[in-house]
Every structure is written in C-alpha cells, then in structure tokens.
Chains A and B, each alone.
Chain A
Amino acid sequence: MRRLLLKNLLRHPVTEAAPQPDDAALAELAASLDRAARRKLGRSLAIREVDAGSCNGCELEIHALNNAFYDL
C-alpha cells in the first residue's frame, strides 16, 4: 500500500481542469439562478438529490462527479 501511495504522490494528479466558461456568462447564470432560488425558496440554493423514480443511471453518474477525474 505504501508503494501505491508514494507512486500516487509523485504521479501527476488524475483530476482534470474544470471547464473554463466565459466569466460574463457565468455571472449571468449565477445571478439568474439566485433570483429564481430566492423567489421560489426565499433563500439561497442548496441541492439535495432525491430519487423519486429514476433507473439509478443518474445516481451513478452523479456519483462519478466525486471520482478522482472530476473531484467535485
């Protein structure tokens, strides 16, 4: 195990750079999302995924966002 940990320390990280969206587009999206959240929820947005009839495909892919490649 020590060998693997050492190798991983020296290796280039698997995690990939996040996509670089245009700053203005990002700001606009954040503002509109915030407005919608405040109107509908009365507070800032928090996301909680609840499976109400999925085939489990979405859950698997949301899980994948936590893997070393995306590291969300």
Chain B
Amino acid sequence: MAALTDIATKGRQVEGHRPWPRVVVTKEVWRLAIQELVEARATLLGLWGDTGAAHMALLDEASSDILVVTVEGREFPSVGKLHPPAIRLERTIRDLYGMNPVGLPDTRPWLDHGVWGVKHPLGARKRSSGRPAPYAFLKVEGEALHQIAVGPVHAGIIEPGHFRFTANGETVVRLEERLGYVHKGIESLMTGASIDKAARLAGRVSGDSTVAYALAFARAVEAALGVEVPPRAVWLRALMAELERLANHFGDIGAICNDASFSLMYAECGILRERTLRASNACFGHRLMRDRVVPGGVAAELPTDRVKDLRALVETVRRRFPELIEIYDNTASLQDRTVTTGYLSPSLAREFGAGGYVGRASGRAFDARKAASYPPYGELDFTVPVFDKGDVNARVWVRIREIEQSLGLIEQIVERLPEGVSPEGALRVELGSPGEIREGVALVEAFRGDVLVSVRIDADGTIARCHLRDPSWFQWPLLEAVIEGNIVADFPLCNKSFNCSYSGHDL
C-alpha cells in the first residue's frame, strides 16, 4: 500500500468521496502515479474526463486498496505515453472532452468517427460536419502481406466492430481493431438525469451484464449517499448476479465450441442457458433481470414458490453439465482448436489489469467479489479459479469452474436468504436528496470482469457526472496481441473466448 498512500498524502483529499479516497494532485504527483503503473506497483482501473479535470483510478493488487487521483486543467501528462493500457482511454477523453493528454503517442480519434454532428460532446461542444472522417490504420510493411477487412457489420446477429487483419498466407501478423460504432452517448444522457433514470441507463450499457452494471451503479450511488441496503436485497442482488454469470458462461462455452464447428456443445449449452434465463424470468420477472437491481435495493421480490425453480436449475445443471465437460475435454478435434490457441502471457494480463476469465486464464487472480469484498460475498463460501496456460482452452476452463462456483453460491444464497423485515419497504430504501455534492465509486464483478462506476451527485440529487468503465477496455487491446501468429480461421475462437463487449466499450 505504501505506493498509493504516498500519493494520497501528496494531494488534497476531496470531501464526500466514498468509499475510497479521491485526491486532487499536481502534474508532478500525477507523473508519480504514472510511475507506479509503469513499475507495476499499481493497476489502472480507469481513466476518464470530467469538466476541467481528468481522473485516474488506481488499484494496489496486494492490499486491494483503491485510490482516485485527479489532475485539473485542460492538459495533463499522458498516461498512455508510458503505460499503453491508457492509450484508448486517453483518445476517448480527447474525443469526448477535447482535453489534451500531453505526449499521447496515438492521437487518432477513437470513439468519434466524425458522424455525431458535434465534437467534444461532454466538453465545450462544437458543431461538426457529421461526415465520416478518414481513419488511418497503422502501417504494415513487408513482403507477401495481404489485408482482410472484417466488419463493422458481421454475417451474424452480433454487435458491430471493424477488424483489420494483415496476414502472411494464413498467419495473422497484425490485427487492428476499430470500435465506436455503437456509441450511444450514455454518459451525456446520464448528465443531469435523475438517479432513477440514470439507473435505467446503467442497466442498458451492456445487455449481457445488465445486473452487474445496475449493481455497480447502485453501489456507487449508495456509497455517495451513505445508504444502507436492506439485507434481503443485498442477497437477492448476489443471486441475480450469479444467475447472470451462469447464463453468460453457458452461452460462451457453447459459442466457442460452435466456432470450432462443434455444434453439439452449442446446442446443449444453449439449452442450459435457456433454462437459466427461464428460471431468472420465473423468479424476477425478466429473462435478463433488467431494472431489477435499483439504487437503494432491488425492485423485485423472489416469490417463495419460485425458490423451487432455482433448486431445479441447479439440479439440472449438476446432472447434465459434467457430461458436456467430458465431451469438451475428450474430443480431440475440439481440443486441437482450443489448446495453445490465442495465447495471452501473464505479464500482458497483469500490465493491462485484464479482468474476468481473460486475466484468470493467464494467472491474474483478481476478482472484485473477493478484492472489493462487497456484501454478501464475504459471508459466502467460494473460490476464484485461476489457470495459467493463457490459451482459449484455459479461458473455457475458467468458465467451467466458475459455473460450478456460481451453482454453489446460488445454493448458499437460497438456503440463507434473510427474511424481509416487513412486506413493504424491506427491499428498497428511499434515497432522498443529499443537499450537497457527493461522490461514490464502486467496483463489481460482472461475468467478463470488473465494472467500475464513478458517480458525482449534485445537491438536488441529479447526476452531475457518471463514468462507467467496462472490463472490455483492458481486454480488447489484448485480443490484438493474442491473435498474432495464429491462423485467420482461429480468430473467431480467440474472439469468442474473450467475448468483449462492444456496447459497454462504445458507451
């Protein structure tokens, strides 16, 4: 902790920022913070713009301490210059705020493709032509190289993104991603919104992680306002979060196998995913459980007679899943595609602070449920599976083991779910207006990794600024790294084993 404590004492601590401290620092101290990242004493959790300031969230992995560092002004020393995971975040700050990270090595726009009709939508807005701006992909030079341009619209019902491959025969020598096609301006829409409206927006950042996002937003707001959530609501939130994790892992395992043309696993995992979604619907009235987690608690009670649906789900998965794992593990043609494919080194995973199965398949054990230890996970018995082979296979195995852990968590939650205090008001507390500016941060483990939410609430209870950082920000760049040296045909496998979010990244 020494490193972050040292920086914290060198800045002016901001009142009303919870639960972790935020300090406003000089450019010199900001540079010290960058040095902590470069020397791997801290991990970058987020870097985002604000009116006249930039914020950076840092994590000390050894102690799980978090510190937000703020530097004021329209210019700040670039983090990306020395620490590459920050590059796309700083390109985004330029796009949205028109601020200048001095020394940023790549100043091409990132989310802004020139078609918004406005420049710097969160800063000093300027009208723009609305015509798409030309984009210069990185130069690739060498003999016998050819390019393959894929997307943004793909031949499937999936999200849009552009992949520019440079290949030598079948071997990929470089992949460059271009994202931003589903930018919706969520952070602009958040500004000035009521907490209720902002909570609904948070739940729409990435549909597959709607519970995790709603939870992260709710926890940030509750931290800011000092609100205590009713115990039963806390446990119901965890129940929904684990159901969401299950559904996504089933979908992904099936889809990875399908990308190796092994459709049996896809069909069988699809059945388990559907059963999970149906149980979620039966228990909480929505298959993806959207808008069920709200600031102050939850908006849906688990009907007593639906607990049996959850028990039946756990029983079905326990009965059918082992057989599928066996097929996955014993089918040579499938293993041939996943083992050693798309290797991510532990050092890159650590440098980028890669969350979720991407990090945990490359030896990075971080899980916000343990590290940020938000309730009720401290009272629940579960482990965080970690593998170190770093290939597609390891990322599948992390998911397999996490499914087993989530089943155990669901059982424990159902057994120990606290009673509501009274029929009304037991699941949600009123928030009220704070009467002063308050700030909160939350880190929540979504199925694909940790979601960071930072919120500033005005005295009247509306949102002054809210930033939501998807785990994909630190995974997308790694996908470019892992495909190098693999054949083009293995890209779908690598891509699906990461399953990064487009919507959550593009915002």
Contacts and interface: CB of A to CB of B under 8 A. Distances in A.
Contact of B157 (A14, A53, A59, A67): A59
B312 interface: no
B306 interface: no
B157 A64 contact: no
Contacts of A69: 271, 274
Contacts of B290: 57
Contacts of B159: 51, 54, 56, 59
A61 interface: yes
B208 A60 contact: yes
B182 A51 contact: yes
A30 interface: no
Q: Is the interface of A mostly helix, strand, loop or mixed?
A: loop
A39 interface: no
Contacts of A59: 157-159, 207
Nearest to B328: A1
A67 B208 contact: no
A20 to B, nearest CB: 21
Interface residues of A, number: 25
* Most chain A beta carbons < 10 A, residue from B205, B273, B331, B503: B503
A23 interface: no
A56 B503 contact: yes
B270 interface: yes
Nearest to B186: A55
Contact of A55 (B204, B251, B274, B323): B204
B270 to A, nearest CB: 4
A68 to B, nearest CB: 5
Interface string B196-228: 000000001111101000000000000000000
B451 to A, nearest CB: 14
A11 to B, nearest CB: 11
Given A1-B264, A4-B327, A68-B271, A63 B503 contact: no
A4 B323 contact: yes
Nearest to A59: B157
Contacts of B206: 55-56
Nearest to B201: A55
A71 B310 CA distance: 25
A28 interface: no
Contacts, number: 78
Contacts of A56: 159, 206-208, 501-503
A62 B157 CA distance: 8
Contacts of A55: 204-207, 210, 503
A38 B274 CA distance: 36
Given A50-B153, A54-B207, A60 B270 contact: no
A54 B290 CA distance: 14
* Most chain B beta carbons < 10 A, residue from A14, A54, A55, A67: A55
Given A55-B207, A57-B290, A49 B271 contact: no
A18 interface: no
B184 interface: yes
A53 to B, nearest CB: 5
Interface in B143-197: 153, 157-160, 182-184
Q: How large is the interface on B (under 10, 10 to 19, 20 to 34, 35 or more residues)?
A: 20 to 34
Contacts of B264: 1, 4-5
Given A59-B158, A60-B251, A67 B273 contact: yes
B108 interface: no
B274 A60 contact: no
A69 B287 CA distance: 15
B246 interface: no
A57 B209 CA distance: 9
A39 B223 CA distance: 55
A33 interface: no
B305 to A, nearest CB: 23
B59 interface: no
A41 interface: no
* Most chain B beta carbons < 10 A, residue from A1, A50, A58, A64: A1
B327 A67 contact: no
B133 interface: no
A14 B288 CA distance: 21
A54 B183 CA distance: 9
A3 B267 CA distance: 16
A64 B272 CA distance: 11
Nearest to B205: A55
B277 interface: yes
A5 B206 CA distance: 35
Contact of A53 (B182, B273, B331): B182
Nearest to A58: B207
Contacts of B267: 67-68
A55 to B, nearest CB: 4
30 contacts: A1-B330, A1-B331, A4-B268, A4-B323, A5-B264, A50-B153, A51-B160, A51-B502, A52-B182, A53-B183, A55-B204, A55-B205, A55-B207, A56-B208, A56-B501, A57-B290, A59-B157, A59-B159, A60-B208, A60-B288, A61-B287, A63-B157, A63-B251, A64-B270, A64-B277, A66-B270, A67-B267, A67-B270, A67-B273, A69-B271
Given A1-B264, A61-B287, 6 more contacts: A5-B264, A51-B158, A57-B208, A59-B207, A63-B157, A64-B273
Top 3 A-B residue pairs of the complex, sorted by shortest distance between their CB atoms: A57-B207, A67-B270, A55-B207
